[in-house]
Amino acid sequence: MKKRSVFFSLLLSAGLIPGLTAGVAKTDGHDHDHAREAKGTYVESLPKAESFKDFNGKVQIERTTVTKILDEKGNVTGTKTFKKNTSDGEFSTQASTGAQKVSVLAVADAQYRAKYSDWQTRIVQIVEQADVMFNRDHSIDFVVEAVAPWTSSGSNSSQILSNLQRSFSGRNYKFVVGFTANSNFDAGGIAYVYNSKPNGSAFSVNLDQGTANTAKAATHEFSHNFGLNHDAQGSGIRCIMNYDYAYTVDVWDSAHNSQISRNKAWYQ
């Protein structure tokens, strides 16, 4: 499947998406010359996985967190505690956990909530699994500080991402990640790719493909929020940013690791 870059030039020129600047995305193979990558913020999507796959075993939770439960207006209606289940030396992530804590608002749309009565726990566990690579390789710990319902709308994944951005702009979180079972969402995941620190939260949306596959997609989409582009399909580069390996590996290539090391300062 070819890479798809979607631009919101009309919205950008009209100033309807705050914090985004227009740019021209690469549409050919990823050549690892990151200095020549496109300027501006744009959108990248990930194809759907070939199957539905849930977690098998325990999800790594690096710190005990009391997560706020919000209503659609942002009011706190309760809390839920997710307890740390790692210990020193048990996981490779543990030694560097907490060096950089980034706050996350995780939201689920009506279709997702209708499928899962435990949607709050489910989306927190997905984010906790999605941050394992970030903890292990870059000491970045994604902490879900709040969960909330979301009413998604749009005729495709790009419009649904834009809807998420409009619905939750101005919230005091580094990342806002949406989880959807909307039948109009035509990708495995989608995110804004930033070329500099975003003016507000970083946004991404992931399709329900089972907790395990959705966590892989979420890692891929969070990576886009750090400015990462795709590796070329057929290149043999084993990296989560390569469509050929996005649902099967847990590594970035060296160029992408360097890029995250540079850009993680955006979210301090």
Q: 239-261 pLDDT, tens per residue?
A: 999 999 999 999 999 999 999 99
Q: For 34, how many CA atoms within 13 A lie in the half-sphere containing its CB? A: 18
Helices then strands, counting H and E runs in the chain, come out as 7, 9
Between 106 and 88, the higher pLDDT residue: 106
List b or e across 159-194, with b for residues whose CB sees 16 or more CB atoms inside 10 angstroms: bbbbbbbebbeebebbbbbbbbbbeebbbbbbbbbb
Q: What angle do CA 202, 235, 196 make, to 5 degrees?
A: 20
Structure tokens at 26: 């690469």
Inform me whether the pLDDT recorded for 44 exceeds 80.
yes
φ/ψ (deg, to 5) at 241:
-90, 5
Note the pLDDT of residue 184: 98
Note the pLDDT of residue 90: 42
* Mean per-residue pLDDT, 63-74: 92
Note the pLDDT of residue 31: 39
Note the pLDDT of residue 235: 98
All domains of the chain in start order, with CATH: 57-266 (3.40.390.10)
Inform me whether the pLDDT recorded for 25 exceeds 50.
no
Residue 164's pLDDT band, with cuts at 50, 70 and 90, is very high
Note the pLDDT of residue 96: 42
* Mean per-residue pLDDT, 86-111: 72
Listed in sequence order, the residues at least 6 apart from 158 whose beta carbon sits closer than 8 Å to its beta carbon are 6, 43, 45, 190
Note the pLDDT of residue 218: 98
- Asked whether 193 and 42 are in contact (CB, 8 A), the reply is yes
The pTM is what? 0.83
Residue 3's pLDDT band, with cuts at 50, 70 and 90, is very low
Note the pLDDT of residue 199: 96
Note the pLDDT of residue 197: 97
Give the Å distances, CA to CA, from 42 to 10, 13, 94, 181.
Answer: 13, 13, 34, 23
Residue 21's pLDDT band, with cuts at 50, 70 and 90, is very low
List b or e across 65-99, with b for residues whose CB sees 16 or more CB atoms inside 10 angstroms: bebbebeeeeeeeeeeebeeebeeeebebbebbee
- Mean pLDDT estimate for the chain: 85
Q: For 149, how many CA atoms within 13 A lie in the half-sphere containing its CB? A: 14
Q: Encode pLDDT of 166-215 as tens digits.
A: 999 999 999 999 999 999 999 999 999 999 999 999 999 999 999 999 99
Note the pLDDT of residue 87: 62
C-alpha–C-alpha distance, residues 220 and 172, integer Å: 23
C-alpha–C-alpha distance, residues 92 and 185, integer Å: 35
Q: Encode pLDDT of 213-225 as tens digits.
A: 999 999 999 999 9
Listed in sequence order, the residues at least 6 apart from 176 whose beta carbon sits closer than 8 Å to its beta carbon are 104, 105, 107, 164, 165, 168, 201, 202, 203, 204
- Asked whether 230 and 243 are in contact (CB, 8 A), the reply is yes
3-state helix, strand, coil split of the chain in percent (to 5) is 30, 20, 50
Inform me whether the pLDDT recorded for 19 exceeds 70.
no
